[in-house]
Chain A
Amino acid sequence: MNKPKVYFMDARSESPDTSLINKTITVFEAAGFDKMIKKGDVVAIKMHCGELGSSAYIRPAYVRAIADKIKEMGGRPFACDTTTQTYGTWGSRVTELDLIETAERNGFSSATLGCPFISADGYVGTSDYRVDIPEGYLLKEAYIAQAIAAADKVIVLTHFKGHGMGVIGGALKNLGIGCQSKRGKFNVHMGRHPSYGIGDSTVFHPENFKGKEKDADWELLENCCPLGLFKVTDDDELLWEREKCINCLGCGSWMNPRGIFEPNLANFDATDIAIADGALGVIKAVGKENIGFINVAVDVSPKCDCAGFSDVPLVPHLGVFASKDPVAVDQACVDAAKNAPGMPGSLAEEMGIDAPGERKFDLGGGAIEGLSEQTTINTGVVNGLGSRDHEIVNVQPLGRDRFAFPPDPRPTKIRFEKMFEKFQPFPFDKHNGRGYNRLDKVDIDAVKGHDGPTVNPHSHKDAAYHGDGGWHPGDDDSSFKPRSSSNGDDKKTD
């Protein structure tokens, strides 16, 4: 059997055609995604718009470039993300309204993307399409966001990074969590699962609750659950209706540090397995021939874009990867990160995993010890989603003439000659054709030293600008008045 191909370009850039955005388009074409799109196809671009506060999420310019390419092929693109479970106490993408507002704050709108940005699973997150997945390792059904299931083609455009629960945030997670509706996310996160659900498997230590007086944030223990399952009684007893817990993860950051919850590693492992099954559900809903994957492995932050912050990247930029196989494309990124040196000053260094050859995400991504960057990938092999084994194809740049400014790709003379004749922006008529009032020569070396200038600074009292020991405001301009002039008494002093 042929190994799946992963089309790759590294992160170095020294010309317009090797810009990372244009490399993304280059691998898009190399992987044949342009040929996949037919005239009239509605094409979903599944991306992660970033939780409020995160800064490493994919830049809108990448999405725009893909949207432009899809339109060039005759397709009708839309960009999308999905609503979240809640995950935390102050989630910023929990409803469609939250999601759109956060996306706009983070720079994603029809104005920036050249196509609409929508919530793929509706207002609350219940607009979905159920698929059976008998091949699933753990899940046997999945709920796919409606707009993704309804699209003719899907481009899964992923910012590759680490993830607290999923360990890696790659194409598989963009499918297995990102393309699931909110309802589907509860399924993948093991809500109400008899062995792996938080309600059934977490060891609960209510005795570690210190009481209202000693815990200034005690009200948050009640208010962090969307179902209101926690209650602090008048006797300072913390009650939890655990049998109703749906694994929204809203309470973990309050209960875990207090020792009230003893998290169960199996819940995390099971979720990582389920991510691959959820991903398979998307492929079944959309069709393998209708979907392509691009991983942009830059700003490889330890935690996901859903965390609300972005730490120093674990490794330097790795490059862009494209494939028809989501397992292969994620494995290629994991391998590249493993082989890369850790970024100085990053969590990789603090964790002691900065040497090339060290797995970067087991400790750098995962929230608790014992998780593996391979769990989801290996499950994707087992459930038939794809192959770890792959062939890297190094793609060559397409040439700078392919990447002209899309709204007006004509060269400079043709675009501007007439305009500049009419509206000459350079004042040729001033200063003997030199245009501007400038000194002929200055001591350049005097301001190049790292430890500061070697000439004395001038007073700013009256000078609008200075540079040669004297000052020359409006040398040949009788209308010039120094900035400090308020009563007309200011005089030239040189």
Chain B
Amino acid sequence: MGRAQDLLEKAMGNMNTLLENQEFNGRFKSGLEKLELQKDKFFFQSLAGLPSANKLFKATEKMIPECNESNMLEIEKIIQEIDDKADAPGTVLT
């Protein structure tokens, strides 16, 4: 497994742990469903998805001790970014 996929898996692991929080349970579920669709794509197989995976991992790490709306919004913003970027052309090979 590549570095981006590995970090994404860790972030998703954190989100699974955070499902225990009743206040945000639904939003984490929805986020996990979205990520499940993206995780095997080239975006995460390549290095293109590594910054997003890294950001998401850090945001979920922050959420564990500080489970609040502001941190939740940050996580949702990154998931939206991943949704937007994952299928976009533009892998720069040259």
Contacts and interface: CB of A to CB of B under 8 A. Distances in A.
B93 A165 contact: yes
Interface stretch (B10-18, B45-53, B59-67): B45-53
A491 to B, nearest CB: 56
B93 A249 contact: yes
Contact of B3 (A268, A347, A369): A369
Q: What's the interface size class on B, roughly?
A: 20 to 34
Contacts of B87: 257-258
A168 B89 CA distance: 23
A257 B47 contact: no
Contacts of B50: 350-351, 363, 369
Contacts of B45: 368-369
B86 A350 contact: no
Given A257-B87, A352-B54, A304 B46 contact: no
A87 B93 contact: yes
Contact of B89 (A163, A254, A268): A254
B28 interface: no
A268 to B, nearest CB: 8
A363 B48 CA distance: 10
Contacts of A262: 42
Q: What's the interface size class on A, roughly?
A: 20 to 34
A306 B41 CA distance: 25
Contacts of B94: 84, 87-88, 163-165, 249, 304, 306-307
B69 to A, nearest CB: 25
B27 interface: no
Nearest to A370: B2
Judged by DSSP, the binding face of A is loop
Nearest to A87: B94
Contacts of A307: 92, 94
Nearest to B46: A368
A347 B55 CA distance: 11
Interface string B60-94: 00000000000000000000000000111111111
Contacts of B3: 363, 369
A259 interface: yes
Contacts of B43: 257
A303 B42 CA distance: 19
A363 B46 contact: no
B4 interface: yes
Most buried by A among B89, B91, B93: B93
A112 interface: no
A256 B50 CA distance: 16
A385 to B, nearest CB: 22
Contacts of A263: 42, 46
A366 interface: yes
Nearest to A91: B94
Interface string A63-97: 00000000000000000000010011000000000
A257 B51 contact: no
A253 interface: yes
Contact of A350 (B41, B54, B91, B93): B54
A424 to B, nearest CB: 56
A286 interface: no
A306 B48 CA distance: 17
A367 B50 CA distance: 11
Nearest to A253: B89
Contact of B91 (A163, A252, A347, A351): A252
Given A257-B43, A258-B87, A369-B45, 6 more contacts: A164-B92, A304-B94, A350-B55, A352-B54, A367-B46, A367-B92
5 contacts: A164-B94, A165-B93, A249-B94, A367-B48, A368-B47
| 5 closest cross-chain pairs (CB), A and B | A350-B51, A87-B94, A164-B92, A253-B89, A256-B42
Interface of A: 84, 87-88, 163-165, 217, 249, 252-254, 256-259, 261-263, 268, 303-304, 306-307, 347, 350-352, 363, 366-369
